[in-house]
Structure 1
Amino acid sequence: MKHLVTGALAAALAFGTTVPPAEAATAGAHGVAAGTVLRLTLTYPSSNTSGTRTVVLRCDPPGGDHPKAAQACADLTRSSGRFDHDPARNEVCPMIYHPVIAQATGRWHSKGVRFRKRYGNDCVMRSRTARVFAF
């Protein structure tokens, strides 16, 4: 059996079926190139909530089950991968406290990501995160 495995390995090397080092460094568990894959979660901790919602966002190309994947990926690209940024100047949100916790875990352009922030309400969250958490 040892000779069979050694022979198969030698044949694979001879026919150039190895993965180049640059691709091997970015390959994921199933041979998929590492890029942008994020698990986005919204949690409403108050008593009268709609519960927790979670989606997957993929970029390069945009996909996953995020309803606005292309726009969310474009927003992240514009902000260099930052989830929270200054709100638009003309954005006015009601001063109603209905907290929401936005979380993101995963990879952004092959770099590990962990984001968690509590906002006063949905409007404030969306004004600071654009369409990334618009689901």
Structure 2
Amino acid sequence: MAEARPASLYAPSALVFSVAQGDDAAATVLRASTLSCAPAATGTHPDPQAACAALKSAGGTLDRLLTAPNPDHACPMHYAPVTVTADGVWQGTRVAWKHTFSNACEMSATVNGNAVFAF
């Protein structure tokens, strides 16, 4: 009898990211990107190497990639929610993450150029 063997020595790390206008499940997706980090950085993400490096430095915890909004980045105080999601697997563990910002400017100021969210 043959033994089942993994296809790779690496635990899978593949995520789908999206940015949607709204704060609920019916939100309209504005853009999306795929990212695979093991065994190599690939996907439709514009900079998969930098995004994978940032995720690795955060231990795959997406909340760690959010920063306090840049005080030099002034945003209007209107409510036009934008929701960022990540779904998939990070080092073999299921990921289902969602964060809603009050508007696109706040999102930009909070992710502060982080490569993961630059898609």
Please report the TM-score for the alignment, with normalisation by the length of structure 1: 0.64
Corresponding residue number in structure 2 for 1:37: 14
Taking a change above 3 Å as real, the CA distance of residues 68 and 87 of structure 1, as seen in their structure-2 partners, is farther
AA partner of residue 98 (structure 2): R
Distance 1:118 1:79 in 2: 20
The separation in 2 between residues aligned to 1:91 and 1:76, in whole angstroms, is 25
Counterpart residue number, 1:128: 110
Q: Deviations over 1:65-85 (max 9, x none)?
A: 011211111111121112123
- More helix per residue: 1 or 2? 1
- Which residue does 1:102 correspond to in 2? 84
2:97: which partner in 1?
115
- The percent of aligned pairs where both chains have the same amino acid is 26
**Amino acid corresponding to residue 36 of structure 1 in structure 2:** S
- Number of residue equivalences: 109
SS of residue paired to 1:87: coil
Change (3 A) 1:115 1:40: same
Listed as ranges, the gaps of 5+ residues in structure 2 are: none
Distance (Å, rounded) in 1 between the aligned partners of 2:100 and 2:29? 15
Q: CA, structure 1 residues 55+78, in 2 after alignment: closer, same or farther (shift >3 Å)?
A: same
Q: Which has the higher contact order (CA 8 A, sep 6+)?
A: 2
Give the superposed CA RMSD: 2.8
Cα distance in structure 2, aligned partners of 1:36 and 1:71: 14
Deviation at 1:55, TM superposition (A): 1.3
Unaligned runs of 5+ in 1: 1-8
Q: Could you tell me which residue of structure 2 aligns to residue 67 of structure 1?
A: 46
